[in-house]
Copies of this chain bind each other. A is one copy, B any other.
Amino acid sequence: MRIVVPFAASTPKTRLQPVLSPAERSTFAKAMLGDVLTALTDAGYDPTVLATTPLDLEAEAYSLESGVLEAVSVAVDERPLTEAVNARLGASASDPVAVVMADLALATPDALERLFATDADVAITPGRGSGTNALVVRHPDVRVDYHGTSYLDHCENAQDVGASLEMVDSFRLATDIDEPADLVEVLVHGEDDARAPAALREFGFELAETDGRVTVTRRESPASK
Contact = CB atoms under 8 A, between A and B. Distances in A.
Interface string A30-42: 0000000000000
Interface residues of A, number: 33
Interface in A109-138: 110-111, 114, 125-126, 128-131
A132 to B, nearest CB: 11
A149 B212 contact: no
24 contacts: A108-B169, A110-B169, A111-B169, A126-B171, A129-B185, A129-B213, A129-B215, A130-B188, A130-B207, A130-B214, A131-B214, A148-B209, A148-B214, A149-B188, A149-B209, A151-B188, A152-B188, A152-B207, A167-B189, A169-B170, A169-B171, A171-B173, A171-B174, A174-B174
Contacts of A148: 209, 212, 214
Nearest to A108: B169
Nearest to A207: B149
Interface in A178-194: 181, 184-185, 188-189
A195 interface: no
Nearest to A209: B148
Max chain B CB contacts within 10 Å: which of A148, A152, A173? A148
A147 B184 CA distance: 16
